[in-house]
Structure 1
Amino acid sequence: MISDKRMAIKFLLLVLFCTFVSGDSEARCMEREREALLTFKSGLIDEDGVLSSWRSDECCIWYGVVCSTATGHVITLKLNNAALRGKISSSLLELHRLDYLDLSGNDFGGIPISEFISSMKQLQHLHLSESNFSGIVPPQIGNLTNLRSLDLSYNSLSSASLFLLGSALGSLEILNLAHNQLDGLIPDLTAFSSLTELRLSGNNFTGSVRIGHLSKLRVLELSHNSLEGSVPRSIGQLSQLQVLGLSYNSLKGLVSESHLLKLDKLKALDLSFNSLMLDIASDWSPPFQLNTISLAGCNVGPYFPKWIRTQTNLSILDLRVAGITDEAPRWLWSSFPLLADLYLSDNQISGTVPNLSSTSILRMDLRYNRFSGPMPLFPSNASHIQLSGNMFSGSISSICKTRHDQLSFLLISNNQFAGELPDCWEKMPSLFSLNMANNSFSGKIPSSFGNLSNLISLQMRGNNLSGELPNNMRLCQNLSMVDVGGNKLTGEIPTWIGQIYNMRFLNLRGNKLHGSIPHEICNLTYIQVLDLSINNLSSMIPDCFSNFTVLASKTTKYLAPPTLAPIYFSLDNENKHYGYSSFQWKGQETEYRSNIGLLKLIDFSSNRLIGNIPESFSSMSGLKSLNLSRNGLTGYIIPDIGKMKMLDSLDLSQNELSGKIPTSLAEIPTLGFLDLSDNNLSGKIPTSTQLQSFNAPAYAGNGRLCGDPLPKCLVLRPSPTKPEENVNESLSFMQEVCISMTFGFIFGFWGVVGLFMLKKSWRLAFFNLLDTVGDWFYIKIALFVSKWIPS
């Protein structure tokens, strides 16, 4: 009976407790904590109104705020990616039960991490990643002994004492300091005994990796540092490890099966771009099933590693620059049903590529190998297909069989493709980059290119294309790179080129274009490479180059049009060598790849241009190479050419330029190549360290040009002082005689003539006198002659 009563009392107490807890779950937040949050808000700039709900009395329902259902205290403040700016108020110290603080993905303007945070000893999770913090990692963070996760990644932090953090934060499970500016020796990681995730990638740590036995470690990310030494064999004892990232360091030595023997839970292996050699038996059966294998830049070859075939869950396989000289095995194309990324570039892999249209491959990079055969079919949802630098041949018309809505990059340059270009480009509306350079394509450029409204880069140089640039290409308003050099294109440069306002690289070199350079070309304010050389262009060069704002800038920073900057970032990071184009640089053919963005060049050489060099050329103070050679330019070299302070290469040879070499040319400190030969220049070459450093051929063919490095200019030596004075005196006397004779003639002649004109009687008397004298002379001469001539 008593037992039943006790059971009833216990049941009643349980009901009362549950009622108390249930009722308290709707308790109002603490007024003191509400005021602390409002003070915190007042120090922030909330342009998007994310904190607009922070007005009501009940702070537990505010955006990003979580309260304890038991006590009503604020326990979580999660305001990540809220576009907040400003400062973090110390009022957060009033939140005594706050254990989760996440302010990541905001912008705090480069301020240091507030030291007061180290007083919030109750914190278990502190996330401040991607928030534009700078300065040092406060060592006082070591006071937060309850921390389980600390994420300060993607800031500009420096000088962190990881030794201190390791010894003080013994309960830390997740430490993410990736992509900061941390440097110094990497600490002995055995101090972080409780860690499950350690991410230190993208810093400047040096030294060797010391792992110990971190039995709980699931993620070890040390990529993109300056670590040295070998890969420690102790990594093979991390039985819980799922992600191992050591790429982009200076590690060297062998990686054998013993490094991987007990990693049966491993999912991602990234050893890329170290000086490592894989010493793994061909018949090895790994204990793991990886979804990512990244061994780029390691010595994996010469044979294709057979153990990879066992990894049936692969979604990423990266074997770029891996020293493989083998034929691609057939199982490569069929063993991985989940494979989305296949990167095999820069090896010597041979073989043919089968029909891949039914595979899961979205991004495929086979560049610079020895693959042959026809153009492979690829999946309709593929985004990156890169086949450049192989021996593929035949037509590419097969790409018209399927619509490719997601295709962004199609790079098939430097192969043996031939035939006419297919006219189905409307089936690839998402293309950003199309590179078909250095093949044997012929015929006209298809009009369907006008449907590629997203196209940024069009590269078709080194083919046999003919006809004119299609008029509807003017619809490709995002075009920034157009390279159709080395073809057989005809017609004039279309005026609509000037409407492609994002154009940065325009190469029409080596075609059969005629007519004038249109004035509209000067609307391309972002242009930095303009090559119209080796055509039949005539007329005068338009004088409007002051419009080229990028060429007027002396900065070497890569300047993309504002509307395309995010896309250029993607282009530069995903494709490091496009093989964009080749140009004349310092008299030699030079190919530019990833460094094309730093080039600033104008080349109008080998045409039939006439007239003067435009004065506006001097406004292009950031121009690095100017080539106007082999034309019919006349006039003089512009006097202000010295304003082109960044000029490294100048070629004005084989024109009809006259006059003196401007002294300002000697003021260009960067000039490394100069050719003024075969003109009509005269006078002395200006004296400077720069101009005298060039050899005589740079000035040859100018008959009246002299001075170092050509023969010295002839100088008339002056006579001694006294004879010179006599000469001056003689000249002075002769000048006086001449003046006297002139005045005598004027007054004598015009004095008599003037009187005869005024006095008629004097005129009559004068002419009668002339008649009398004349008769007298006639009689005397007649008598004289009669004496000597016989009758």
Structure 2
Amino acid sequence: MISYNMILYLLLVIICSSSMNLVSGVPKTRCVDHDRIALLQFKKALVDDYALLESWNDTTNARDCCQWRGVGCNNATGQVITLDLNNVIWIEGDGMQGRLSGEIDSSLLSLSSLTYLDLSGNIFTRIPKFIGSLKNLQHLKFSYAELTSSTDFPDHIGNLSNLQTLDLKFTPVVFKNTHSLSSLSSLKYLNLSYIDLSKSDGLLYNAIKMPSLVELQLSDCKLPNDTANTFLGPLTNLSNSFSVLDISSNDLPSSIIYPWLFNFSGSLMNINLINNKLLGTIPDAFGTFTNLETLDMTSTGLKGGIPSSFRNLSRLRQVYLQQNNLDQDLPGLFNNLPVRSLEVLDLSGNRLSGSLPDFTTFSALTKLHLARNRLNGSFPRKFQGNSHLLFLDLADNHINGLLPDLSVFGSLTELYFERNLLQGTLAKRLGSLSTLESLGASSNFFQGTITEQHVANLSRLIYLDLSYNSLALNLSPDRSPPFQLYTILLSSCKLGCSFPTWLKTQNNLFMLDISNSGINGIVPNWFWESLVPHLRYLNLSSNHIYGTVPHLVSGKLNYIDLSLNSFSGNLPLFPISTFTLILNDNMFSGSLSSLCNPSQLLHLDLSNNKLSGKLPNCWNNYERLTVLNLENNKFTGAIPSSIEALRSVGMMTMRGNELTGEIPSSLRNCTELELLDLGENKLSGKIPEWTGDSFSNLRILSLPSNRFHGEIPTSLCNLKKIKILDLSGNNISGNIPKCVNNFFGMTEGSLDASIRDHIPYSFSLLRTTISPSYVLKAILEWKGRRSVYRNTLGLVVSLDLSSNRLSGEIPNEITSLSALIAVNLSRNNLTGLIPQDVGLLRWLDFLDLSRNHLVGRVPLSLSRVSNLGVLDLSFNNLSGRIPKSTQLQSFNMSSYTGNPALCGDPLLNRCPGDDDGQSGGRQEDVAKEADDDGKLIYGFYVSIVVGFVFGFWGFCGSLLVSDSWRYGYFKFLKMMKDKTLVTVEISYYRIRRRIPTYLWK
């Protein structure tokens, strides 16, 4: 009985299976043997190091090639019609999948039914000629492929009359014959982006002759722009099927693009002209593109505004015009756009002005980008209707006033208005934005307190930036906020004295900045244990937090800033993934031994702590470091030789420690240095001769208050970019080198607001890009106090050689350093005159030449330095009258004391003749000086005349008398003919660099 039932069951199953196959009309088939053998032959010619074709084998269980990876068959015949071995994910992804390589075997010709071939992202010797014989091929893709032997693209491609898709994006092929493209009568999609087509004349013309072409992608192809005819060909018999055109990033001028482009006005739906040189205004002719849906002219140098003809584009959905010079009034611009169809409008990074119009009149608008413009005024008092906006970005404008009722934007998911002039309370406007995911409101003038009631509806919020407002965030520690944030940026907001416990509920936290938020106390253990291991960005700086920091080596932190707090104890261990570590101005103690672990640090600041001991000799673990700041600690011993490993370091400061020994010769390998500050240590020896030769980028060299001796090496004159040179407070002797005029960084043409921002790491999440910049800084003793210069450091140009044992005269070449703001040569043994042209230093604010052995008069030109704020010429041997000027008489007597033979205001010493009539005596003195100058000028002109007479006739007379001299002279002129222009050009260049721009113009 059991067996009888079993037989009936099996019969029923067979009948049902047959019925299903008959109903579907798709009987189960296996691939034909002919195609299977061809595929195995194709595999044999490939190198498959990653076993990507492991399923391709001839075992009993795997003989059906239709089941192999990347193979697709015709369900009716079992013939292979698809071969998809695309490995672009290896390039665009994490690189873990691997790629195929080797030869493309001709066995593919046996796949007679093949219609789809995609070998993208792999490595082949060449694209074979037989590709043109795959007659049934409809789709051919080689994007991102590498070619190791020949890059010639086969001309036989023109034989593929059925080809609809040709994708060669990022493949290094060369088209020797572009006419073959015009034979592809069925081609609809052509992508040659990122291929060098600079020598492929007529390619675009041949492409547009394809009668079926719908989409043409030629981004960044270096298309030739010298001659329009060779680039485009005759503008006749053009295809009328175009709908998508991308010729972005080719630097083509409008004179080439526009005449050709406007021939397709009736068919084009998508136009991409990014990064070309359109310049000028947007032509009215764009209004003839009646089918246009997307227009992208980002970064093309456009100016003016959007023409009124755009109102005719009833199908226009997306317009991208960011990063141009559009300066139209925004309400007027909006009036020139179609209000019913427009969905995306990006005008960010322009010069648009005016108030915000009522953009709710655009019924379909979902994304509006207006950031980085010059918009002013306030929001409209009332919006006319509800908006479908999902994204609104108004950041970096001058929008003022109060926020409007945001309830009309009930669909918003992202809202940004950072760095504006908005004010009032923010809290009451948040309740209606229940769909909001990202809110950026930093750097405004918002006030008030945000409580859990105000954020009760923000359950979808993942990004919150309220930094730099006068806001307080008061969330109950007993109630969990409704959101799970990925990014919290609350710098300068008030979070209460104790550490905010509501952070404990944020399980997805990725970035956290609660710097300068008034927190006072110890960081709770749950923060270090539960939240920090998941963070990538952490900023707790500028609070009143104390206690110790545990080891964080198991975390994922890339950026850590705990500066300006009261953390103590030894330095903790940090993750190897940390790029930026800022711990300055705390009370960390102990040695740096914990830093001798492998590291990817780019930026390390441990300044102003209580760290001690010798510097570790393991700097070879920090080869990527660009900023190293160890100043104002208690480090001892010598600078270790492994410092040479810091080949990328741009700023190195160890000021204010107790380091000893000489500057190690290994330091010369740190050739990228822009700032080197080793001041206030106990370093000794001579300033190395190699300093000027190794540090060609050096802007600041600060070595004050050490024990250096010997002379100033003349190689320092090779520091052509130097702006601040401070060698004060040492035992340096000898003369001041006359070659100081090579310090081109101290001339007016070199002035800039900042020197360089070291940006060691850019961290992005959603909208946020946080680039922790570290501006070079310098400490100067100036006007009787110590000053730290950061943001305006590029405007500080200083030469300080004070408190040494320098001798000799002050070189007159110093007066060519026209950008000098501070000069301190005091407390040396300098002799001779003060340079008479010192008045050329017209920006001078600080001049101290005191306590030397200078003689002679105070230069009259000094009275013309109108910016002079500090002057000290005391305790020298100066004599004569102090030149009369409002500037020089405004200083105290202390500026001139100690010069017994110096007289005149503001000193009490009267000059000769002052007793018989002060005014008359001074006039006689000035007259005498003028008479002396006149005699000097008279003698100068007499010398010129006498020299000219003797020189001219001595030379020309010799030529007239002697034939051999005359012949030699003209032969010399002929020899120098070709050199003359070069000499003139070099001389012009040198003169041009030395003359300030305002004088040259």
TM-score bin (small chain): 0.7 to 0.9
Q: CA deviation at 1:74?
A: 2.3
Structure 2, unaligned runs of 5 or more: 1-161, 166-185, 190-204, 210-217, 249-260, 764-768, 918-1001
Whether the 8 Å contact between 2:219 and 2:246 is mirrored in structure 1 is: no
Which structure would you say has the larger Rg?
Answer: 1
Q: CA deviation at 1:171?
A: 2.4
Moved more, 674-683 or 578-587: 578-587
Secondary structure, counterpart of 1:666 in structure 2: helix
Q: CA deviation at 1:251?
A: 1.2
Residues 104-133 of structure 1, C-alpha deviations (whole Å, 9 max, x = no match): 2x2416555555445434211111112344
Secondary structure, counterpart of 1:349 in structure 2: strand
Match of residue 464 from structure 1: 658
Whether the 8 Å contact between 2:356 and 2:377 is mirrored in structure 1 is: no
Match of residue 39 from structure 1: none
2:361 is aligned with 1:361: no
Q: CA deviation at 1:628?
A: 0.5
Secondary structure, counterpart of 2:692 in structure 1: helix
Which residue type is aligned with residue 663 of structure 1? L
Residues 220-272 of structure 1, C-alpha deviations (whole Å, 9 max, x = no match): 10110111111141312210001111100111122222221110000111110
Match of residue 201 from structure 1: 395
Structure 2 Cα separation of the partners of residues 448 and 275 of structure 1? 48
Match of residue 699 from structure 2: 504
Structure 2 Cα separation of the partners of residues 338 and 609 of structure 1? 58
Structure 2 Cα separation of the partners of residues 59 and 548 of structure 1? 60
Match of residue 837 from structure 2: 640
Match of residue 333 from structure 1: 528
Match of residue 601 from structure 1: 798
Structure 2 Cα separation of the partners of residues 289 and 96 of structure 1? 46
2:684 is aligned with 1:490: yes
Structure 2 Cα separation of the partners of residues 122 and 238 of structure 1? 30
- 1:49 maps to which of 199, 218, 223: 223
Residues 22-78 of structure 1, C-alpha deviations (whole Å, 9 max, x = no match): 99996979x9x979xxxxxxxx9989339999789574575469x9xxx99322123
Seen in structure 2, the aligned counterparts of structure 1 residues 666 and 718 have a Cα distance that, compared at 3 Å, is closer
- 2:361 maps to which of 160, 165, 168: 168
Seen in structure 2, the aligned counterparts of structure 1 residues 45 and 131 have a Cα distance that, compared at 3 Å, is farther
Residues 554-573 of structure 1, C-alpha deviations (whole Å, 9 max, x = no match): 6752364xxx7785998999
2:670 is aligned with 1:670: no
Moved more, 85-94 or 533-542: 85-94
Which residue type is aligned with residue 904 of structure 2? G
Whether the 8 Å contact between 1:550 and 1:559 is mirrored in structure 2 is: no
Whether the 8 Å contact between 1:327 and 1:350 is mirrored in structure 2 is: yes
Match of residue 394 from structure 1: 590
Secondary structure, counterpart of 1:178 in structure 2: coil
Residues 386-440 of structure 1, C-alpha deviations (whole Å, 9 max, x = no match): 1011011111111112x11x31101111111111111111111111101011111
Match of residue 548 from structure 1: 743
2:846 is aligned with 1:653: no
Secondary structure, counterpart of 1:356 in structure 2: coil
Secondary structure, counterpart of 1:490 in structure 2: strand
Structure 1 Cα separation of the partners of residues 873 and 338 of structure 2? 71
Match of residue 12 from structure 1: none
Q: CA deviation at 1:509?
A: 0.7
Secondary structure, counterpart of 2:667 in structure 1: helix
Match of residue 539 from structure 2: 343
Percent of aligned positions with the same letter in both sequences? 39
Which residue type is aligned with residue 657 of structure 1? L
Match of residue 699 from structure 1: 896
Secondary structure, counterpart of 2:834 in structure 1: coil
Which residue type is aligned with residue 172 of structure 1? L
State how 1:386-425 maps to structure 2 within 5 Å.
386-401=582-597, 403-404=598-599, 406-425=600-619
Whether the 8 Å contact between 1:54 and 1:62 is mirrored in structure 2 is: no
Which residue type is aligned with residue 450 of structure 1? E
Structure 2 Cα separation of the partners of residues 236 and 358 of structure 1? 39
Structure 2 Cα separation of the partners of residues 302 and 357 of structure 1? 28
Structure 1 Cα separation of the partners of residues 611 and 164 of structure 2? 76
Match of residue 250 from structure 1: 445
- 1:283 maps to which of 461, 470, 478: 478
Residues 92-114 of structure 1, C-alpha deviations (whole Å, 9 max, x = no match): 3332211111222x241655555
CA RMSD of aligned residues (A): 3.2
Residues 335-355 of structure 1, C-alpha deviations (whole Å, 9 max, x = no match): 224310000111111111111
Moved more, 670-679 or 578-587: 578-587
Seen in structure 2, the aligned counterparts of structure 1 residues 488 and 686 have a Cα distance that, compared at 3 Å, is same
Whether the 8 Å contact between 2:290 and 2:312 is mirrored in structure 1 is: no
Normalised to the residue count of structure 1, the TM-score between the two structures is 0.80
Secondary structure, counterpart of 1:233 in structure 2: helix
Whether the 8 Å contact between 1:113 and 1:134 is mirrored in structure 2 is: no
2:539 is aligned with 1:352: no
State how 1:154-233 maps to structure 2 within 5 Å.
154-159=349-354, 161-164=355-358, 166-188=359-381, 190-191=383-384, 193-213=387-407, 214-233=409-428
Seen in structure 2, the aligned counterparts of structure 1 residues 696 and 251 have a Cα distance that, compared at 3 Å, is same
Seen in structure 2, the aligned counterparts of structure 1 residues 424 and 649 have a Cα distance that, compared at 3 Å, is same
Structure 1 Cα separation of the partners of residues 372 and 777 of structure 2? 30
| Count, aligned residues | 676
Whether the 8 Å contact between 1:373 and 1:391 is mirrored in structure 2 is: yes
2:732 is aligned with 1:558: no
Secondary structure, counterpart of 2:431 in structure 1: helix
Structure 2 Cα separation of the partners of residues 515 and 352 of structure 1? 46
Which residue type is aligned with residue 365 of structure 1? D
- 2:782 maps to which of 565, 585, 608: 585
2:322 is aligned with 1:126: no
Q: CA deviation at 1:712?
A: 4.4
- 1:474 maps to which of 668, 674, 677: 668
Structure 1 Cα separation of the partners of residues 735 and 714 of structure 2? 10
Seen in structure 2, the aligned counterparts of structure 1 residues 540 and 47 have a Cα distance that, compared at 3 Å, is farther
Seen in structure 2, the aligned counterparts of structure 1 residues 50 and 119 have a Cα distance that, compared at 3 Å, is farther
Match of residue 738 from structure 1: none
Residues 286-334 of structure 1, C-alpha deviations (whole Å, 9 max, x = no match): 0000001111011112111100111011111101111111211112222
Structure 2 Cα separation of the partners of residues 380 and 626 of structure 1? 45
Which residue type is aligned with residue 703 of structure 1? P
2:271 is aligned with 1:74: no
Secondary structure, counterpart of 2:496 in structure 1: coil
Structure 2 Cα separation of the partners of residues 600 and 113 of structure 1? 47
Q: CA deviation at 1:162?
A: 2.2
2:643 is aligned with 1:449: yes
Structure 1 Cα separation of the partners of residues 246 and 652 of structure 2? 48
Which residue type is aligned with residue 535 of structure 2? L
Whether the 8 Å contact between 1:447 and 1:470 is mirrored in structure 2 is: yes
Q: Which protein, 1 or 2, shows the higher relative CO under an 8 Å CA cutoff with sep ≥ 6?
A: 1
Which residue type is aligned with residue 362 of structure 1? N
Structure 2 Cα separation of the partners of residues 208 and 510 of structure 1? 55
Seen in structure 2, the aligned counterparts of structure 1 residues 287 and 49 have a Cα distance that, compared at 3 Å, is same
Match of residue 104 from structure 2: none
Which residue type is aligned with residue 420 of structure 2? N
Structure 2 Cα separation of the partners of residues 575 and 667 of structure 1? 43
Whether the 8 Å contact between 2:627 and 2:758 is mirrored in structure 1 is: no
Which residue type is aligned with residue 221 of structure 1? Y
Q: CA deviation at 1:718?
A: 11
Seen in structure 2, the aligned counterparts of structure 1 residues 643 and 229 have a Cα distance that, compared at 3 Å, is same
Structure 2 Cα separation of the partners of residues 301 and 158 of structure 1? 40
Secondary structure, counterpart of 2:291 in structure 1: coil
